Amino acid sequence: MDSGARGDHAIETRGLNLWYGDFQALYDVDLTVKRGIITSMIGPSGCGKTTMLRTCNRIIERLGYVRTTGSVYVLGHDIFGDDVELVQVRKQIGMVFQRPNPLPISIRDNVLFGFKLHEARLRRVSAAEEDEVLESSLRQVLLWDTVKDRLDKPATGLSLEEQQKLCIARLLPVKPAVLLMDEPCSALDPAGTEAVEELIWKLRGDYTILIVTHNMAQARRASDECVFMLLGRIIEHGRTEELFLAPEHSETSDYIEGRYG
Amino acid sequence: MDRRDAAWYVDRVAQGLIFAGGISAIVFIVGIFVFVTKEGLGFVFGPLQPGEFLTSIAWRPTSNNPTYGALALIVGTASVTGFAMLFSVPLSLGAALFIAEFARGKTREILKVLVEMLAAIPSVVWGFVGMSIMNPLIIRIFDVPVGLTVLNAGLILGLMAAPIMTTIAEDALKAVPDSYREAAEALGATRWEVVVKVVIPASRNGLLAAVLLGVGRGFGETMAVLMASGHAINLPTSPFDSVRALTATIAAELGDAPVGSDHYGSLFTLGILLFVVTFVVNLTADLVVRGVGKK
C-alpha cells in the first residue's frame, strides 16, 4: 500500500507489537481507523485497549520501559519515523483521559494551553483572537454558558462532567484530526456520562474519534465501528451493529453476552 | 466482661508515650522561648535604648561606657544571608528541577544521596573550608587584602542551605500529580514546556517554602559564619568587606559575659531578635506550604 492510500485512513497500524519490560501487551496488531467516524474499542480489562490508544500519540513512551516493533501511521505519517516530530504528532492527535485532568490553572488558560503552545511558535496571537478561540471551543463542548462568567477561576473547581468537557474543549483550538478517548465517562455519574456522550456524538464528522470503553452499551450507542480486543490481539473489527448483532467470533459473542470480562 | 488484658495496658502505655513525644516539641519550643525572653527582657525593658540598638553600629558591651548598637550585626547577618540566597536559590532550585524532572534511574538516586550527604557535613567543617580554602582563594582571585568576607561567608552559607532547599523543592515538584504532566505532554508540550508552564506554577508554594526555609537556615547558622565572615563590626559596602553576624556575636561573647549583667542581657536580646525572625520566616514557610492566601 502506498502512502497516498494510507492518507485516507486516520490511523493505521501494521504488525504492531508492544512490550512493557518483558511483558508483551500487544501482539501483531493491524488496525485501520477510518476518517470522520467514531470507532470504539471494547474488551476485558488488561486486553490492551488503553495501551493501543496510548501508542497512537506515543504518550505511552513516558513510562520509559516500553518497546515497540511494527509501524503506526497517523494520517499517512509513520509516527515512529525519524523525520517525525513528536510535538507535531500530538498536535494532530488530541487525547482525553479516564479521569478528567484539567491543569491547575484558570479555565481560560486551560482551553488556550495547547493553542498558545503551538501557535506561539509560529506567530503572534492577538488577545481578540484568543478570546474568539476560547469562546468557540467552549461553545463546541456546550460549556460556554456555564463558565463564561468565571473564565479566570481555576478549572479544578468545576464538576467532573464540566472538567471532562473542558478537557475536550482544550483539544479543539489546535485543530487536531484525531481524538483519542480513554474511557472518557468512567469517572462521571450517569447524567455526566450522557452529556459527554452526546458531546462526543456531536463532534462526529469533524473529528475522527477512537474511544476506549468498558461500557458496551456506550460502545453500541455511541460508535460507528467497533473493535473487540482480547489478550493483546484484535479479535474482531466491524460495523458496530453487525459486531453486536452477529459477531463472527465466539470470543466476541461470549464477551458481548457477558460470559467474561 | 473485663477487657483490661495485657494488650489493653500496652495500648494505653503506647498511647501515653506517643502523646508525650508529640507534645514535647511544643513544650520545648515554649520552654526555649520563655528562657530566652526571661533572660533578655530584663535588658529590653531596662538599660536598652531601642533607638541606639537599631540604628547605631557601636557594639561595645565591654567598654567602660558600654553601647549596644546592633545595626552592624543585623546588617551583617542580612547581607551574608542575602548573598547566600542570591547564589543558593538558583543553584538549589535548578538541582531540584534536574533531580525531580529530568534525571532518571541511577543518576537520580546518586544525586539524591549526594545532596543528603551535603546536609550532613558539620558546620564547623564548612567554617574550616571557608577559612583555609576559600580565604586564600578569594585573596588570590580578587586581589583583596582579606578573604574572610561577606562573599566567603555567603558562599559557604549558600552551600550549607542548598541541601535543605533542594530536598524540599524536590518534594514540592514530586507532589505535582503526574496527570498534569501527562495532560500537557499529550497537548504537545515538550518536557521543558511542561516544567515551565505546568510543574513550576503548580508547585509554586512548595518552592517558595523551600526558599524561606533556606533563609531561616541562613539566619540561624553560627559557626561557619563566625569563621568565614571575618567577625568584624562593620557596615559592608561590597561583598569584599568583613562583617559580623548576630549569631556569631552571641557565640563568641556569651562565655565571657557575667550572668545577669547588661552584656549578658544584651546578647539574649539578640537571641530574641533571631528567634522572632526565624520563627516568622518558618511560620510563613509553613503557611505558604499549606496554601494560605492562595487564590
Q: How many domains does chain A divide into?
A: 1
Count of beta carbons in the 10 Å neighbourhood of residue A151: 18
How far off is chain A from B178, nearest CA to CA, in Å? 10
How far off is chain B from A259, nearest CA to CA, in Å? 34
> Nearest 5°: phi and psi at B243?
-140, 175
| A114 close to A174: Cβ distance less than 8 angstroms | yes
Cβ-Cβ contacts under 8 Å for B174 (sequence gap 6 or more): B100
Domain ranges, residue B157: 78-242
Q: Please tell me whether residues B117 and B210 are part of one structural domain.
A: yes
Question: Which positions in chain A touch B194 (Cβ < 8 Å)?
Answer: none
Please identify which residue in the block is written with the cell numbers 488577545: A127
Question: Which positions in chain A touch B104 (Cβ < 8 Å)?
Answer: 64
Question: Which positions in chain A touch B182 (Cβ < 8 Å)?
Answer: 59, 62, 97, 101
Q: Please tell me whether residues B102 and B211 are part of one structural domain.
A: yes
B263 found inside a domain: no
Tell me if B187 and A105 make a contact (CB, 8 A cut-off). Answer: no
Q: How many domains does chain B divide into?
A: 2
CB-hemisphere CA count at 13 Å for A54? 22
Q: Output the pLDDT for position A3.
A: 45
B235 found inside a domain: yes
Q: Please tell me whether residues B225 and B120 are part of one structural domain.
A: yes
Whether chain B has a CB inside 8 Å of the CB on A87: the answer is yes
Tell me if B185 and A62 make a contact (CB, 8 A cut-off). Answer: yes
Q: Please tell me whether residues B40 and B118 are part of one structural domain.
A: no
Q: Output the pLDDT for position B295.
A: 41
Closest CA to A73 of A56, A51, A60, A61: A56
Question: Which positions in chain A touch B201 (Cβ < 8 Å)?
Answer: 104-105
Q: Which residue of A has its CA nearest to B194?
A: A117
Averaged pLDDT, groups of 10, chain A, 261 residues long? 58 91 91 90 89 90 88 87 84 90 90 87 81 88 86 88 90 90 87 86 88 86 89 90 86 83 65
Question: Which positions in chain A touch B198 (Cβ < 8 Å)?
Answer: 103
How far off is chain A from B120, nearest CA to CA, in Å? 33
Tell me if B198 and A103 make a contact (CB, 8 A cut-off). Answer: yes
Question: Which positions in chain A touch B188 (Cβ < 8 Å)?
Answer: 86-88, 90-91, 114, 117-118, 174
A203 found inside a domain: yes
Tell me if A117 and B188 make a contact (CB, 8 A cut-off). Answer: yes
Strand partners, A78: A73
Tens of pLDDT, residue by residue over B212-254, are 989 988 888 999 999 999 888 889 888 899 999 999 999 999 9
How many angstroms from the chain centroid is the CA of residue B284?
Answer: 13
B221 found inside a domain: yes
How far off is chain A from B189, nearest CA to CA, in Å? 7
B116 found inside a domain: yes
Length of chain B: 295
B13 vs B282, which has greater pLDDT? B13
Closest CA to B215 of B150, B291, B292, B157: B157
Q: Which residue of A has its CA nearest to B182?
A: A59
Tell me if B185 and A101 make a contact (CB, 8 A cut-off). Answer: no
CATH (domain of B158) = 1.10.3720.10
pLDDT at B294 over 70: no
Tell me if B295 and A94 make a contact (CB, 8 A cut-off). Answer: no
A143 found inside a domain: yes
Whole-angstrom distance, CA of residue B205 vs CA of residue A256: 50
- Say which amino acid occupies A231: L
pLDDT at B61 over 50: yes
Q: Which residue of B has its CA nearest to A176?
A: B187
Q: Output the pLDDT for position A6.
A: 55
CB pairs < 8 Å spanning A and B: 57
B126 found inside a domain: yes
B19 found inside a domain: yes
B294 vs B1, which has greater pLDDT? B1
Whether chain B has a CB inside 8 Å of the CB on A174: the answer is yes
Question: Which positions in chain A touch B193 (Cβ < 8 Å)?
Answer: 117
pTM confidence score: 0.82
Q: Please tell me whether residues B82 and B35 are part of one structural domain.
A: no
B249 found inside a domain: no
Q: Please tell me whether residues B87 and B196 are part of one structural domain.
A: yes
Q: Please tell me whether residues B17 and B124 are part of one structural domain.
A: no
Whether chain B has a CB inside 8 Å of the CB on A95: the answer is yes
B210 found inside a domain: yes
Domain ranges, residue A202: 3-256
Q: Please tell me whether residues B39 and B138 are part of one structural domain.
A: no
Q: Please tell me whether residues B161 and B21 are part of one structural domain.
A: no
Q: Please tell me whether residues B32 and B90 are part of one structural domain.
A: no
The pLDDT confidence band at residue B44, using thresholds 50, 70 and 90, is confident
How far off is chain B from A100, nearest CA to CA, in Å? 9
Question: Which positions in chain A touch B202 (Cβ < 8 Å)?
Answer: 103-104
Residues of B with CB under 8 A from a CB of A: 104, 179-190, 193, 197-198, 201-202, 295
Strand order from edge to edge, sheet including A225-230: A93-96, A178-182, A208-212, A38-42, A225-230, A233-239
Among B200, B215, B242, the domain-final residue is B242
Tens of pLDDT, residue by residue over B166-206, are 999 999 999 999 999 999 999 989 889 999 999 999 998 89
How far off is chain B from A133, nearest CA to CA, in Å? 16
Tell me if B193 and A59 make a contact (CB, 8 A cut-off). Answer: no
Q: Please tell me whether residues B84 and B170 are part of one structural domain.
A: yes
Cβ-Cβ contacts under 8 Å for A243 (sequence gap 6 or more): A226, A228, A236, A237, A252, A256
Host H or E run for residue A208: strand A208-212
B164 vs A258, which has greater pLDDT? B164
Question: Which positions in chain B touch A113 (Cβ < 8 Å)?
Answer: 184, 187, 197
Question: Which positions in chain B touch A62 (Cβ < 8 Å)?
Answer: 181-182, 185
How far off is chain A from B295, nearest CA to CA, in Å? 9
Whether chain B has a CB inside 8 Å of the CB on A91: the answer is yes
Question: Cα–Cα distances in Å, from A113 out to A88, A98, A103?
Answer: 15, 20, 9
Q: Output the pLDDT for position B173.
A: 94
Closest CA to A147 of A170, A126, A129: A170
| A16 close to A26: Cβ distance less than 8 angstroms | yes
CATH (domain of A198) = 3.40.50.300
Q: Please tell me whether residues B34 and B172 are part of one structural domain.
A: no
